[in-house]
Amino acid sequence: MTVDVAGRAVPRFSRRAIAAFTQRVVRAARAKGDLSIAFVDDDVMKDKTTDVLTFPADAPLLGEIVISIDQAKRQAADEKHSLATEVRYLLVHGVLHAMGYDHETDDGEMNALELRVRGRVGLE
């Protein structure tokens, strides 16, 4: 499994560490496929600023995840944890969307799986 990381840097969370963490998430979620992750500014996000956009794909690519560093910083401040921690939460969320889960329509299935995956990777 390959995880490509591009775009803005995340302080105290190297590209190598991001790729390794994401690989752990993919294994914990029992998914398969390569991922592409891009960190961008708010102005790059489509339509309106959101924290994470995910574009599922067909095998061997699991999908593409785009994370707004600006929005992640705001959320980290609101939650009183580090930007690196917030990015970890967003990576878990993005991987599950890449797998086809949709928390807006699935009666809590994605949220339950997200909690299990967080536990498996030590993110609670």
pLDDT tens digit sequence for 70-116: 999 999 999 999 999 999 999 999 999 999 999 989 999 999 999 99
pLDDT of residue 115: 97
Q: 19-76 pLDDT, tens per residue?
A: 999 999 999 999 999 999 999 999 888 777 789 999 999 889 999 999 999 999 999 9
For residue 52, give the nearest of 31, 32, 22 by alpha carbon: 22
pLDDT of residue 82: 96
Q: Which residue has the tokens 């500014």?
A: 41
pLDDT of residue 48: 76
CATH architecture, domain defined by 3-120: 3-Layer(aba) Sandwich (3.40)
What are the domain boundaries of the chain? 3-120
Q: How is residue 93 written in tokens?
A: 């969320």
pLDDT of residue 49: 79
pLDDT of residue 102: 93
pLDDT of residue 59: 85
